[in-house]
């Protein structure tokens, strides 16, 4: 079986910025080469993809914990102050009958970050053990996390608008809690993690051991 | 020109020969299904018109109040920027900055970059510093989150109507239109066209 006709297998490299294909010089050295059309540095694969993605995934896990445990918002009324975590907010909205709000917040703030982190760990491990398991499905999983990642940010926007409008009302005050900062940073980390993962590594695994096997 | 008709899939590195540019056609990777190229009819004219519309809507969305509240004789309105300022004043400047960047600055820069690229291309000129602007646009693109912000508005309104009377502002309608226009720009703007036309 012949190896698939990829750019790498025929000593070519596509520019990550403008997609122009360049020929790699015969000595095979790519370092310092720039795309002749747009001037971007040329890399066969995203540089240091696995290490960077692992580091960002671990950072995201570390930030996910305080984001869930600490209060995300503090409401102060004449009756006193009340702190809410993301989950206590979700539970409150289930009990008060706004199950659609509860669903949006639960999916965007709790489920999507966990899914992103789990899928990235799965992809990282399957690349590292050179898994040949369903590369097409793995690529699809990667596309899903690229697509859904930013929707986790919805709670941050809700807090911003609630803080502004409740303050305008003047009867109560609504402040972002310490979890908001951890949460926002965690979402940013997961987005950077998805960007630094190179899906072509999934397909590279399929070609390993072609000569020996 | 031969290398121009070759394209590597950005998701799996498989090489494809793209013969001609069928207008309105989409080329899909035969191995992983990634969209390689999507040539739209009148891409340049349409994306230029959409970008200008987008900028007008952006100004409206930011100049007018987003939501207003009414309780008794009290009527007060909040703009997007005003909401960010409330967070800043409350000492949560980091969150305020995150909202300012993702819901205001990055979407604005995204539109301006596209306008900067499209106007010279329309006049058959090479945009100055095309490579830098394209790269800026590509880097900022995932961080513009106006569509997510729109969902945030809807959730906040549903939460707030239990406590007070919430009145949608002019800006809210501009926002909804802007989300549609931004989606259309993403569909019609063809970066390959920009690279090819901007080359000579
Ligand atoms: Zn592919």
Selected residues 95-114 of chain A with any CB under 8 Å from a CB in chain B? 96, 98, 100-101, 104-105, 108
* CA–CA distance, A28 with A67 (Å, rounded to integer): 46
Residues of chain A scoring pLDDT < 50 = 211-213
Q: Is the CB of residue A39 less than 8 Å away from at least one CB of chain B?
A: yes
List the single residue in B94, B149, B162 with the smallest CB-CB distance to A157.
B149
Total domains, chain A: 2
Cβ neighbours of B90 in A, within 8 Å: 163, 175-176
pLDDT of residue B127: 85
* CA–CA distance, B85 with B97 (Å, rounded to integer): 10
Q: Choosing among A5, A44, A102, A160, which should be mutated to test the B contact, i.e. which has the most B CBs within 10 A?
A: A160
Tens of pLDDT, residues B107-150: 999 999 999 999 998 888 888 888 899 999 999 999 999 999 99
pLDDT of residue B21: 61
| A191 Cα–ligand 1 center, Å | 22
Q: Are residues A39 and A124 in the same domain?
A: no
Q: Are residues A13 and A102 in the same domain?
A: no
Is residue A111 within 8 A of residue A127, CB to CB? The reply is no
Q: Are residues A108 and A200 in the same domain?
A: yes
* CA–CA distance, B143 with B107 (Å, rounded to integer): 8
Q: A73: domain CATH number? A: 1.20.140
Q: Is the CB of residue B139 less than 8 Å away from at least one CB of chain A?
A: no
Q: Are residues A134 and A29 in the same domain?
A: no
Burial class (CB in 10 A: 0-12, 13-18, 19+), B162: exposed
Q: Which long-range contacts (CB under 8 A, 24 or more apart) does A22-26 make?
A: A22/B3, A23/B3
B15 strand-pairing partners: B8
Measured CA to CA in angstroms, residue A60 lies from A70, A121, A183, A190, B149 at distances of 16, 12, 9, 6, 22
Q: Are residues A132 and A202 in the same domain?
A: yes
Q: Are residues A165 and A72 in the same domain?
A: yes
List the single residue in B12, B14, B78 with the smallest CB-CB distance to A165.
B78
Q: Are residues A105 and A199 in the same domain?
A: yes
Q: Is the CB of residue A77 less than 8 Å away from at least one CB of chain B?
A: no
Q: Are residues A86 and A21 in the same domain?
A: no
pLDDT of residue B20: 65
| B6 Cα–ligand 1 center, Å | 13
Q: Is the CB of residue B49 less than 8 Å away from at least one CB of chain A?
A: no
Q: Considering the entire predicted model, what is its pTM?
A: 0.91
Residues of chain B scoring pLDDT < 50 = 1-3
Q: What is the ipTM of this complex?
A: 0.89
Q: Are residues A56 and A112 in the same domain?
A: yes
In sequence order, which residues have a C-beta less than 8 Å from that of residue A133 and are 6 or more positions away? A126
* CA–CA distance, B101 with B108 (Å, rounded to integer): 10
DSSP string, A112-153: HHHHHHHHHHHHHHHHHTT--S-HHHHHHHHHHHHHHGGGGG
Q: Are residues A111 and A201 in the same domain?
A: yes
pLDDT of residue A213: 35
pLDDT of residue B160: 86
Q: Are residues A194 and A122 in the same domain?
A: yes
Is there a contact between B151 and A163 if contact means CB atoms under 8 Å apart? Answer: no
pLDDT of residue A77: 84
Q: Which residues are within 5 Å of ligand 1 (an ion), measured at CB?
A: B 9, 11-12, 14, 29, 31-32, 34
> What domain range is A18 assigned to?
1-44
């Amino acid at each position: 079986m012949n190896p698939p006709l990829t750019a790498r297998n025929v000593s070519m490299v596509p520019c990550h910025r403008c997609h122009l294909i360049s020929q790699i010089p015969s000595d095979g050295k790519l370092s310092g080469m720039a795309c002749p059309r747009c001037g971007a540095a040329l890399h066969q694969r995203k540089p240091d993809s696995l290490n960077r993605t692992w580091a960002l995934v671990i950072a995201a896990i570390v930030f996910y914990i305080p984001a869930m445990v600490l209060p995300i918002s503090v409401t102060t009324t004449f009756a006193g102050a009340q702190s809410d975590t993301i989950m206590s907010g979700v539970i409150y909205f289930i009990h008060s009958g706004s199950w659609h709000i509860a669903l949006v917040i639960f999916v965007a703030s709790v489920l999507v970050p966990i899914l992103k982190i789990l899928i990235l760990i799965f992809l990282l491990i399957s690349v590292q053990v050179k898994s040949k398991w369903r590369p097409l499905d793995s690529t699809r999983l990667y596309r899903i996390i690229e697509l859904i990642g930013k929707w986790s940010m919805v709670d941050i926007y809700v807090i911003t608008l609630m803080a502004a409008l409740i303050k305008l009302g003047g009867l109560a005050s609504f402040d972002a809690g310490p979890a908001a900062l951890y949460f926002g940073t965690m979402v940013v980390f997961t987005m950077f993690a998805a960007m630094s993962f190179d899906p072509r590594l999934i397909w590279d695994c399929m070609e390993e051991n072609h000569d020996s096997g | 020109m031969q290398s121009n008709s070759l394209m590597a899939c950005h998701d799996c590195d498989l090489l494809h020969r793209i013969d001609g540019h069928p207008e309105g056609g989409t080329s899909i990777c035969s191995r992983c299904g990634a969209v390689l190229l999507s040539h739209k009819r009148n891409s340049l004219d349409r994306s230029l018109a959409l970008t200008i519309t987008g900028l007008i809507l952006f100004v409206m969305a930011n100049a007018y109040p987003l939501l207003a509240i009414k309780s008794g004789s009290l009527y007060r309105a909040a703009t997007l920027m005003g909401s960010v300022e409330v967070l800043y004043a409350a000492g949560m400047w980091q969150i305020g900055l995150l909202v300012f960047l993702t819901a205001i600055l990055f979407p604005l820069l995204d539109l301006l970059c596209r306008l900067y690229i499209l106007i010279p291309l329309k006049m058959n000129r090479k945009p100055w510093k095309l490579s830098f602007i394209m790269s800026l646009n590509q880097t900022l693109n995932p961080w513009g989150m106006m569509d997510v912000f729109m969902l945030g508005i809807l959730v906040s309104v549903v939460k707030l109507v239990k406590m007070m009377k919430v009145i949608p502002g002019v800006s809210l309608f501009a926002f909804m239109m802007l989300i549609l226009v931004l989606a259309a720009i993403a569909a019609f703007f063809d970066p390959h066209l920009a690279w090819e036309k901007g080359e000579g």
